[in-house]
Amino acid sequence: MKQVVARVAHEIPQRAPLRLAVGEPVQVGERDTEWPEFVFVTAADGSGWVPARHLSQPSDTAVVLEAYDTTELPTAAGDLLDVLAEDRRSGWLWCRSSSGRQGWVPIRTVDAAG
């Protein structure tokens, strides 16, 4: 299994994670200026940032084409993480910490382990 080490800390947002299912309708808001692959969506269960390519259209009302979980993983510099999925296009990795917690971590905050 591929591992990475956190180069810097990653702090997570104060909003609850959003889990979207295929076919779920969402209201699409602004595009993120720091992470241009992402748009802000509002669903029945909350809101969060989602890669635009996971939606039927990147504006107004859309339908989710690919399930997505916005959970982010907090890290401290030096944390060793298992990489479970890579989304290089968006710039994030789905990782598991040594405590078993899982979530997205920005690729730019980690280095290859070893």
Same domain, 25 and 57: yes
At a CB cut-off of 8 Å and minimum separation 6, what does 114 contact?
Answer: 3
Q: Cα-flanking dihedrals φ and ψ of residue 54, to 5°?
A: -85, 0
CB of 50 closer than 8 Å to CB of 65: no
| Number of domains comprising the chain | 2
Tokens of 35: 């992470």
CATH number of 25's domain:
2.30.30
What gap in Å lies between CA 71 and CA 8, rounded to an integer? 19
Average pLDDT for residues 27-51, to the nearest whole number? 95
Of the candidates 4, 56, 10, 13, which has an alpha carbon nearest to the alpha carbon of residue 32? Answer: 13
pTM of the model: 0.91
For residue 99, the enclosing domain spans: 3-12+73-112
Based on the fold, state whether residues 48 and 80 are members of the same structural domain: no
The domain spanning residue 84 has which CATH number? 2.30.30.40
pLDDT (tens digit, 9 = 90+) per residue, 67-104? 999 999 999 999 999 999 999 999 999 999 999 999 99
- Strand segments (E) across 1-114: 3-6, 19-20, 25-31, 38-43, 46-51, 60-63, 68-69, 80-87, 92-96, 102-106, 110-112
Average pLDDT over the chain reads 95
Q: Do residue 26 and residue 55 come from a single domain?
A: yes
